Amino acid sequence: MTEFMPLIDDLLVTEEEANNLTYFAFAKPLNGKPLNGKPHKAEPALAPTKASVGVLPDVLAGRYRIERLLGAGGMGAVYRARDLLSEQFGDPDPYIALKILSEEFAESPDASALLYSEFALTRRLRHDNVLRPHTFEVDTDCQRAFITMELMRGLTLDKLLCERPLGLPWKELRDIALPLLDALAYAHARGVLHGDIKPSNVMLSEEGVRLFDFGLGQAGEGILPGLPHLSRNRFNAWTPGYAAPELLEGQTLSASADVYGVACVIYELAGGKHPFRRLPSTEARAGYLDRELHPPKNLPKHCWPALHKALAFDAADRTITAAQLRDAMGATSSWLQRLRLRA
């Protein structure tokens, strides 16, 4: 048995990291009364500490040898593992990533359903810029469900931002923003909402940009109808700095909420600063921070109106889709176009 004893330092997250973690809250009925399906605000029931995964076998499901921890989030942990079966058949790259729920979450039936839903939603998406899932499995000995998926080698955007605190020049920014928006527009077109767009859920991998972690995703009406429908009244989760105000106020996830999250990420990449100082969007709205919003340093002028619209606090004003934002950012400015025509 391998004991994954997390260091105390690993369990305590810095303020910076805490801002990036997804908060999970089991919403409680107010004063014991039913919620009647009305929007409400759930209090986080779990502190934003990295989840403890506890003791895991060396090899899961008789096949996957756990090698090392790649990352821990609000719900569980992701390990690099070696697929012993593919290795036996001579696969030159038998490495995979394996996502497993933390001990406390593993006991909740909702959590396994949430993990399965993450798998099913991701599997619905076949796109160069979306992580490729492999399988959903349960280790019968330790009774833990897990997902296996492609091992991404690279940097998540939160790490990239630490290395590049002043943001990225337009050429580099464009090479991340356009594939990211392509992935999101494609997911929306396939009826899949992400629900937790933030820098640590986007990887700049050796094989290009990958959007991942559909753990809070949802399928649209009539899509994957057999999936258990997890009520946001029972299970609420958000990442304060990237969740749109309506989500923090208990409304259901929408494509427009994903657009708000992706716009915050692109804004941050363009100048190194989050548009609203990483404040929860409801607080930023109460402080009228949108009135002080300036175009980020490295963003060409022609992209600003679209990005600005995508950052609207009020969903009714956020009248832009991921595909439209992609088109606006991918368009060449009329000045550049004129220059090219003259050449």
Residue ranges that bind Mg ion, judged by CB under 5 A: 73, 201, 213
Q: Considering only residues 56, 73, 247, 311, which one is a binding residue for ligand ATP as defined by CB under 6 A?
A: 73
Residue closer to ligand ATP by CB (options 61, 78) is 78
Which of 3, 148, 132 minimizes the C-alpha distance to 78? 148
What is the C-alpha to C-alpha distance for residues 181 and 183, in angstroms, rounded to an integer? Answer: 5
Contact with ligand ATP (CB under 6 A): which of 63, 65, 82, 99?
99
Q: Is 218 in the site for ligand ATP (CB under 6 A)?
A: no
Phi, psi of 135 (to 5 degrees): -140, 160
**Residue with the shortest CB distance to ligand ATP:** 73
**Angle made by CA atoms 160, 4, 64, in degrees to the nearest 5:** 85
Instruction: For the chain, report the end-to-end CA distance as a whole number of angstroms.
Output: 67
Is 213 among the residues that bind ligand ATP (CB under 6 A)? yes
Q: How many other CB atoms sit within 10 Å of the CB of residue 103?
A: 15
Fill in the per-residue mask, 15 to 54: x = in contact with ligand ATP (CB under 6 A), - = not in contact: ------xx--------------------------------
CA atoms within 13 A on the CB side of 62: 2
Query: Is there a binding annotation on residue 99?
Result: yes
Stretch that binds ligand ATP, among 36-44, 81-89, 148-156, 222-230 (CB under 6 A): 148-156
From the list Mg ion, ligand ATP, none, pick the one residue 299 interacts with, judged by a Cβ distance below 5 to 8 Å according to partner type: none
Q: Mind spelling out the 3-state secondary structure of 89-143? A: CCCCCCEEEEEEECHHHHCCHHHHHHHHHHHHHHHCCCCCCECCEEEEEEECCCC
Minimal distance, residue 237 CB to ligand ATP, in Å: 8
Nearest to 246 by CA among 312, 323, 294: 312
| 61 near ligand ATP, judged by CB under 6 A | no
> What does the DSSP 8-state code read for residue 148?
E
- DSSP tag of 290: G
Query: Using the rule CB under 6 A, is 70 a contact of ligand ATP?
Result: yes
- Per CB under 6 A, the list member of 42, 66, 97, 312 interacting with ligand ATP is 97
Sequence ranges of the binding site for ATP: 99
Residues near ligand ATP, by CB under 6 A: 21-22, 70-71, 73-76, 78, 97, 99, 131, 149-152, 156, 196, 200-201, 212-213, 215
